[in-house]
Amino acid sequence: MDGSTALASEYFQSYSVIGLLALIGVLFVAVAFGAGRLLRPVVPTPEKLLTYECGVDPVGEGWAHTQVRYYVYAFLYVIFAVDSIFLFPWATVFAAPGYGATTLVEMFIFLGFLAVGLLYAWKKGVLAWA
């Protein structure tokens, strides 16, 4: 029973160090924000309350229309960029002895899914830049 108690004590002691560091970090941030609030000058004027846009006074509404297709292009880019990241670990495992055929089949299945997704996007007209 002594060995397990010592092991549990050592286990929780390592977590107490992490908790103490987290507490110090939270206190540091709180003190920094509190000091900033106490030391800053507060002199509100109408000019200071305006929205600042590159030195130009704001005119009109803050609403702007954005084409949804740009988000679709960005989304497709992110999908294929993340998928291409999976090619590097695959190449590493493919080089290991005994995994060649299995990883080759898995990669063709993976690339097949990507091709089906790209074909679907192309058939829906998502890739047409107009």
pLDDT exceeds 90 at position 16: no
Identify the weakest region by mean pLDDT among 21-25, 60-64, 70-74, 113-117.
60-64
Outline where 40-67 has alpha helix (H).
Answer: none
0.85 cut: is pTM over it?
no
Q: Higher confidence at residue 24 or residue 95?
A: 24
Integer Cα distance of 100 and 53 in angstroms:
57
Find out whether 89 and 113 touch, Cβ atoms under 8 Å: no
Q: Higher confidence at residue 29 or residue 75?
A: 29
pLDDT exceeds 60 at position 1: no
For range 65-90, the mean pLDDT: 78
Largest CA distance in the chain: 75
